[in-house]
């Protein structure tokens, strides 16, 4: 189900404008945008997310083209730009950001909701699993997987009835917990190999910790204490310490050698704490999986006992009916 389509274009002063048609539950809207407006949207969203344009999960069609005519270029762009916008509005991290709503000129009180995409199998798929091994996941794909896991977690039922809770725990055990473990392992490899600096490592660890806590709240229906430790030294990266010449900053200019040494020791301490947090996330996800497994076994045993009791009651009823017939 596509909520957004680009059916026509117009041209003003040699610039092509794409007519975006938006189908909402109670109304239809339209807005015209040029290609550079799409580029600006990506930059705004990247700024909100704290990532580079190259790390953005949904790609615009290239500015240049191998098409021999402008008409063919415009036709291809209409399809690709429509595909881009539909991907953005399905992403729970992006769909209700101010930049998106401003770009589409949506009503001020409007919000995208999961119900709008119920007919779209991709947006309601609770059976998402990362197929790659941890060492095969690149840094950009890691972020896309994080959003997908968060979206999948959001689709899991949260009602308090027994059936819903059973379904939720089964889906967490099969699809959420293994994915979080795999992202945690990949993140640990990035840190070991110096592929990301300590600041980025801390941000991603924090995101995983929040996702892990949300999983625990869903499974056990209890609040999870969260602790955010922001160190003033996270700007120092493990990578830069080994691959770049150290540079003086406002923080270090006034420090003597002893104070610099203390600061570096603090940097390593902070990094060790982040690694420990990552280890705890992995261990906790395993513990959640084991707990769910034990509870499923206990529930199965209870069901078996219940079935035995039902069978015994049925036998007693049959005996009672037989005695009643003999009496009559």
Residue/partner pairs of 236-242 with CB below 8 Å, 24 or more apart: 236/198, 236/264, 236/267, 237/196, 237/197, 237/198, 237/199, 238/191, 238/194, 238/197, 238/198, 238/201, 238/271, 239/194, 239/195, 239/196, 239/197, 240/197, 241/267, 242/194
Low-confidence ranges of the chain (pLDDT < 50): 121-125, 226-245
**CATH number at 4-116:** 3.30.1520.10
Give the sign of the dihedral formed by CA 306, CA 308, CA 311, CA 315.
Answer: negative
**pLDDT value, residue 115:** 75
177-204 pLDDT tens trace: 888 888 988 988 988 888 888 888 888 8
Residues 6+ apart with CB under 8 A from 211: 146, 149, 150, 153, 180
* Calpha distance 135→280 (Å, rounded): 20
273-296 pLDDT tens trace: 666 766 777 776 767 666 666 666
**pLDDT value, residue 227:** 44
**pLDDT value, residue 65:** 59
**Where in the chain are the domains?**
4-116, 124-220+270-327
* Calpha distance 76→64 (Å, rounded): 12
**pLDDT value, residue 20:** 95
């Amino acid at each position: 189900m596509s909520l957004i389509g680009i059916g026509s274009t117009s041209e003003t002063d040699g610039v092509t404008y794409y007519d975006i048609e938006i189908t909402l539950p109670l109304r239809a809207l339209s807005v015209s945008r040029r290609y550079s407006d799409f580029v600006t949207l990506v930059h705004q969203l990247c700024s909100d997310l704290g990532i580079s344009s190259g790390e953005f999960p949904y790609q615009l069609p290239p500015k240049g083209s191998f098409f021999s005519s402008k008409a063919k270029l415009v036709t291809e762009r209409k399809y690709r730009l429509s595909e881009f916008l539909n991907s953005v509005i399905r992403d729970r991290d992006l769909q209700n950001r101010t930049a998106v709503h401003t770009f589409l000129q949506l009503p001020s009180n409007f919000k995208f909701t999961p119900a709008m995409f119920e007919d779209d199998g991709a947006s309601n798929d609770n059976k998402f699993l990362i197929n790659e091994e941890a060492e095969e996941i690149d840094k950009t794909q890691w972020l896309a997987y994080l959003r997908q896991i968060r979206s999948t977690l959001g689709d899991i039922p949260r009602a308090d009835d027994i059936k819903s809770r059973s379904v939720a725990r089964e889906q967490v055990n099969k699809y959420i917990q293994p994915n979080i473990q795999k992202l945690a392992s990949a993140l640990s490899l990035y840190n070991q190999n110096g592929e990301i600096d300590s600041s980025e490592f801390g941000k991603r660890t924090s995101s995983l910790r929040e996702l892990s806590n949300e999983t625990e709240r869903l499974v056990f229906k209890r609040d999870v204490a969260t602790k955010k430790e922001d160190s003033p030294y996270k700007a120092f990266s493990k990578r830069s310490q080994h691959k770049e010449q150290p540079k003086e900053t406002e923080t270090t200019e006034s420090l003597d050698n002893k104070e610099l040494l203390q600061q570096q020791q603090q940097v390593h301490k902070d990094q060790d704490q982040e690694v420990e947090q990552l280890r705890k996330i992995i261990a906790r996800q395993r513990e959640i999986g084991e707990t769910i497994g034990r509870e499923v076994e206990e529930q199965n045993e209870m069901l078996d006992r219940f079935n035995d009791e039902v069978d015994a009651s049925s036998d007693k009823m049959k005996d009672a009916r037989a005695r009643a017939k003999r009496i009559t």
